[in-house]
Amino acid sequence: MDDGEKDALLMFLEAQRASVLAIIEGLDDEALTTAVVPSGWTPLGLVEHLGHAERHWFQEIATGSAEPLPWPDDDTPLLTPRPPSVVFAFYRDQCARSDAVLAATPLSAPPRGRHPDPLGSEITDLRRIVLHMIEETARHAGHLDIARELIDGKTGLGPR
Protein backbone atom coordinates (compact mmCIF):
# COMPACT_ATOMS: atom_id res chain seq x y z
CA MET A 1 0.00 0.00 0.00
CA ASP A 2 2.79 2.45 0.84
CA ASP A 3 5.28 1.32 -1.84
CA GLY A 4 5.26 4.65 -3.71
CA GLU A 5 5.89 6.62 -0.55
CA LYS A 6 8.48 4.11 0.61
CA ASP A 7 10.27 4.33 -2.75
CA ALA A 8 10.32 8.13 -2.54
CA LEU A 9 11.66 8.14 1.02
CA LEU A 10 14.33 5.58 0.15
CA MET A 11 15.34 7.62 -2.91
CA PHE A 12 15.93 10.69 -0.73
CA LEU A 13 17.78 8.69 1.94
CA GLU A 14 19.99 7.01 -0.66
CA ALA A 15 20.78 10.40 -2.23
CA GLN A 16 21.97 11.75 1.12
CA ARG A 17 24.04 8.64 1.81
CA ALA A 18 25.64 8.94 -1.63
CA SER A 19 26.40 12.61 -0.93
CA VAL A 20 28.20 11.71 2.29
CA LEU A 21 30.47 9.27 0.48
CA ALA A 22 30.99 11.47 -2.58
CA ILE A 23 31.99 14.48 -0.50
CA ILE A 24 34.88 12.64 1.13
CA GLU A 25 35.86 10.51 -1.85
CA GLY A 26 39.53 10.88 -2.68
CA LEU A 27 40.64 12.03 0.77
CA ASP A 28 43.66 10.20 2.13
CA ASP A 29 43.77 8.58 5.57
CA GLU A 30 45.36 11.65 7.15
CA ALA A 31 42.64 13.98 5.87
CA LEU A 32 39.91 11.56 6.93
CA THR A 33 41.26 11.39 10.48
CA THR A 34 42.19 15.03 11.04
CA ALA A 35 39.85 17.43 12.81
CA VAL A 36 39.48 20.72 10.93
CA VAL A 37 36.84 22.39 13.09
CA PRO A 38 37.17 23.48 16.73
CA SER A 39 34.74 20.85 18.05
CA GLY A 40 37.26 18.17 17.08
CA TRP A 41 35.27 15.68 15.00
CA THR A 42 36.89 14.01 12.01
CA PRO A 43 35.32 13.17 8.65
CA LEU A 44 35.88 9.47 9.29
CA GLY A 45 34.40 9.76 12.79
CA LEU A 46 31.31 11.38 11.30
CA VAL A 47 30.88 8.52 8.81
CA GLU A 48 31.14 6.01 11.65
CA HIS A 49 28.61 8.06 13.61
CA LEU A 50 26.22 7.83 10.65
CA GLY A 51 26.69 4.05 10.61
CA HIS A 52 25.79 3.95 14.30
CA ALA A 53 22.75 6.14 13.60
CA GLU A 54 21.55 3.77 10.86
CA ARG A 55 22.02 0.83 13.25
CA HIS A 56 20.32 2.61 16.14
CA TRP A 57 17.25 3.85 14.28
CA PHE A 58 16.52 0.98 11.91
CA GLN A 59 17.59 -1.91 14.12
CA GLU A 60 17.45 -0.95 17.79
CA ILE A 61 14.43 1.33 17.46
CA ALA A 62 12.47 0.03 14.45
CA THR A 63 12.95 -3.71 15.11
CA GLY A 64 13.87 -3.63 18.79
CA SER A 65 17.20 -5.42 18.42
CA ALA A 66 20.58 -5.20 16.73
CA GLU A 67 23.55 -7.46 16.22
CA PRO A 68 26.42 -6.66 18.59
CA LEU A 69 28.95 -4.14 17.34
CA PRO A 70 32.16 -5.65 15.94
CA TRP A 71 34.19 -3.58 18.44
CA PRO A 72 33.78 -2.20 21.97
CA ASP A 73 31.31 0.65 22.20
CA ASP A 74 33.53 3.74 22.19
CA ASP A 75 32.54 6.73 24.23
CA THR A 76 34.33 9.24 22.00
CA PRO A 77 31.70 10.77 19.74
CA LEU A 78 32.61 11.60 16.16
CA LEU A 79 36.11 10.14 16.38
CA THR A 80 37.24 6.62 15.58
CA PRO A 81 40.43 4.59 16.01
CA ARG A 82 39.38 2.30 13.14
CA PRO A 83 40.88 2.52 9.64
CA PRO A 84 38.86 3.96 6.76
CA SER A 85 38.27 0.57 5.12
CA VAL A 86 36.64 -0.74 8.30
CA VAL A 87 34.52 2.38 8.84
CA PHE A 88 33.31 2.52 5.23
CA ALA A 89 32.45 -1.20 5.29
CA PHE A 90 30.56 -0.70 8.56
CA TYR A 91 28.63 2.27 7.15
CA ARG A 92 27.69 0.46 3.95
CA ASP A 93 26.66 -2.66 5.90
CA GLN A 94 24.46 -0.66 8.26
CA CYS A 95 22.82 1.11 5.31
CA ALA A 96 22.11 -2.25 3.66
CA ARG A 97 20.60 -3.55 6.91
CA SER A 98 18.47 -0.41 7.16
CA ASP A 99 17.26 -0.93 3.60
CA ALA A 100 16.30 -4.51 4.46
CA VAL A 101 14.26 -3.31 7.45
CA LEU A 102 12.58 -0.69 5.28
CA ALA A 103 11.79 -3.24 2.56
CA ALA A 104 10.24 -5.70 5.04
CA THR A 105 8.33 -3.28 7.27
CA PRO A 106 5.28 -1.11 6.58
CA LEU A 107 5.86 2.61 7.05
CA SER A 108 3.01 2.66 9.56
CA ALA A 109 4.67 0.04 11.79
CA PRO A 110 5.28 1.35 15.31
CA PRO A 111 8.81 1.10 16.65
CA ARG A 112 9.62 -1.92 18.82
CA GLY A 113 12.40 -0.07 20.64
CA ARG A 114 12.36 3.32 22.31
CA HIS A 115 14.62 6.32 21.86
CA PRO A 116 14.84 8.73 24.82
CA ASP A 117 12.55 11.76 24.86
CA PRO A 118 11.96 14.30 23.59
CA LEU A 119 12.67 12.76 20.17
CA GLY A 120 11.49 9.33 21.29
CA SER A 121 7.91 10.52 21.77
CA GLU A 122 7.90 11.94 18.23
CA ILE A 123 8.93 8.63 16.63
CA THR A 124 5.59 6.88 16.23
CA ASP A 125 6.27 4.74 13.15
CA LEU A 126 8.87 3.66 10.61
CA ARG A 127 7.97 6.63 8.40
CA ARG A 128 9.26 9.03 11.05
CA ILE A 129 12.40 6.97 11.50
CA VAL A 130 13.16 7.28 7.78
CA LEU A 131 12.43 11.00 7.82
CA HIS A 132 14.72 11.44 10.81
CA MET A 133 17.54 9.56 9.05
CA ILE A 134 17.13 11.68 5.91
CA GLU A 135 17.46 14.80 8.07
CA GLU A 136 20.38 13.42 10.10
CA THR A 137 22.29 12.27 7.03
CA ALA A 138 21.67 15.55 5.17
CA ARG A 139 22.80 17.61 8.15
CA HIS A 140 26.04 15.67 8.46
CA ALA A 141 26.61 15.80 4.69
CA GLY A 142 26.58 19.58 5.14
CA HIS A 143 29.14 19.28 7.91
CA LEU A 144 31.31 17.17 5.63
CA ASP A 145 30.94 19.79 2.86
CA ILE A 146 32.47 22.36 5.19
CA ALA A 147 35.24 20.02 6.33
CA ARG A 148 36.14 19.18 2.75
CA GLU A 149 36.38 22.84 1.82
CA LEU A 150 38.67 23.43 4.81
CA ILE A 151 40.80 20.41 3.94
CA ASP A 152 41.48 21.06 0.26
CA GLY A 153 39.21 23.83 -0.94
CA LYS A 154 36.93 21.54 -2.95
CA THR A 155 33.24 22.44 -3.00
CA GLY A 156 30.10 21.24 -4.73
CA LEU A 157 31.00 17.57 -4.32
CA GLY A 158 28.28 15.01 -4.36
CA PRO A 159 26.66 12.53 -6.67
CA ARG A 160 26.15 13.86 -10.16
- The answer to whether residues 85 and 48 touch, using CB atoms and an 8 Å cutoff, is no
pTM over 0.85: yes
Looking at the 3D structure of the chain, how many domains does it have? 1
In this prediction, residues 48-60 reach a mean pLDDT of: 96
Identify the CATH number of the domain in which residue 67 sits: 1.20.120.450
23 and 141 in contact (C-beta within 8 Å)? yes
Give the residue numbers spanning the domain of 10.
3-152
Nearest one of 45, 137, 51 to 98, comparing CA atoms: 51
pLDDT band at 116 (very low <50, low <70, confident <90, very high): confident
Cα angle 141, 84, 72; round to 5: 100
- Does the residue 160 lie in any domain? no
Q: Are residues 109 and 20 in contact, defined by beta-carbon separation less than 8 angstroms?
A: no
Identify whether 71 is part of a domain: yes
Q: Given this model, what pLDDT does residue 57 score?
A: 97
For residues 102-131, average pLDDT: 93
CA angle, 147 as apex, 98 and 52 as ends, to 5°? 25
